[in-house]
Amino acid sequence: MTVQETGPLTTEAGAPVADNQNSQTAGPGGPVLIQDQSLLEKLAHFNRERIPERVVHARGAGAYGTFTLTRDVSQWTRAAFLSEVGKQTETFLRFSTVAGNLGSADAVRDPRGFALKFYTEDGNYDLVGNNTPVFFIKDAIKFPDFIHTQKRDPYTGSQEADNVWDFWGLSPESTHQVTWLFGDRGIPASFRNMNGYGSHTYQWNNAAGEVFWVKYHFKTDQGIKNLTTAEANQLSGMDPDSHQRDLRESIERGEFPSWTVQVQVMPAADAAGYRFNPFDLTKVWPHADYPPIEIGRLELNRNPENIFAEVEQSIFSPAHFVPGVGPSPDKMLQGRLFAYGDAHRYRVGINADHLPVNRPHATVARTNSRDGYLYDGRHKGAKNYEPNSFGGPQQTNVPLWQPLPVTGTDAASEAPTHAEDNDFVQAGNLYRSLSEDEKERLVDNLAQFIAKVSRDDIAERAVNNFRQADPDYGKRLEAAVQALRG
């Protein structure tokens, strides 16, 4: 806990407050006076204490920590923070649910955001992922439509099963992620007891200019633990803040949660001929093809001092790269490169990067951006253009990542098709990998939700996607839904 400041209570301008219990009135029983600046200032500030919540990932908790590199990865990347075994980098990790609003419960069936900021000597690197290695869709142009189905219906004001299953049924690429979501790992017991994934494919490039595609995995050292639907429903009602409280209290006890960090590495030349599109966010790279390689350890060891300043106002953008790391042609990632930064400029403000939790910690940001809401004047009288002859910062002429050759026409188009591209294969593989008990719980979880839709055609279309993933999967689900719908 931070030591409380001592001395007299003051206004925002620093003037001492004589009476904080009684407002000024015209006589003991008269109306309140507009000259009571302390009262007006308090009420005006109180009215503005909230900023727009995140459209997605609104409900979150975070902590500071340390990433320690345990393996030499210089053969794949020239990133400075990955340059030496034993090197440590300060981090900030924000966990979140996706669909719920700021006041929703933690223990719900929903993907969990896993947004990690590395405060490197070359600037901040943000890795914005989830607790699942895949996602519901593969193109960012569908993202607003998808999220609209998860949020409150414009007429009823509630989440509607019709909307959810209508969209998923008409978007067969969602079948893999939906199978993840309604399985046992759909409701983690805590933030500490779940894995994290970069989910997208990213570029690593080494000092020789060679390009590699990578996927990040963060495997919990606390072990995977999950909640059943019944357990989650009870916990949500009794303690809506369960996951946030668990994270904070574990760090306060000195039980620092940690994750073993792994990467899958694909030489760039493999991508074009790989059996499915390696940049498709709805698919994983089988470990038999590209085994995970352990490269480090992430530990969380310090709680924020102020949730609003450091968790609510924290910003993460997948466009925040450092030398040696870059984007891939993943169409979901490409959309997020714009959308995340744009969301933060709207929600927190154009100078959000100046806030302590967001600004670089291991270097200094040198830009020519000036002014705007809450600009603090840090540049003083320095010139605000480049090039200049007054000693201002200059471009390096060294790109952060390697350029990729492109061909074709500028048109709305699907990603290139690979030999085994299919929306259902990996969902079926996941289903067949489950134990009999896990299959029963998965089918029951899905059936309970599908049974709520109002139209038979929506239910039938939803079930058919799972039938195409695996005949037994569809047969069981069809029977369970019919039993519930009568």
Q: Structure tokens of 11?
A: 């206004």
Check the CA dihedral 155-96-186-245 and report its sign: negative
Backbone phi, psi, residue 69, to 5°: -80, 130
- Give the chain's length: 486
Would you call 130 a catalytic residue per the annotation?
Answer: yes
Q: Structure tokens of 85?
A: 């075994």
What is the greatest pairwise CA distance in the chain?
85
Catalytic residue chosen out of the listed positions 101, 124, 130, 206: 130
Catalytic residue chosen out of the listed positions 20, 22, 45, 57: 57
How is residue 312 annotated by DSSP?
I
Decide: 301 and 66 in contact? Cβ < 8 Å: yes
Q: How far apart are CA 408 and CA 419, in angstroms?
A: 20
- Identify the H or E element spanning 216: strand 211-220
Q: How far apart are CA 74 and CA 207, in angstroms?
A: 8
Would you call 57 a catalytic residue per the annotation?
Answer: yes
Compute, in degrees rounded to 10, the torsion defined by CA atoms 45, 47, 48, 52: 160
How is residue 81 annotated by DSSP?
G
Residue 390: burial class (beta carbons within 10 Å; 0-12, 13-18, 19+)? exposed
Q: Which amino acid is at 334?
A: Q
Q: Structure tokens of 15?
A: 């003037």
* Residues taking part in catalysis: 57, 130
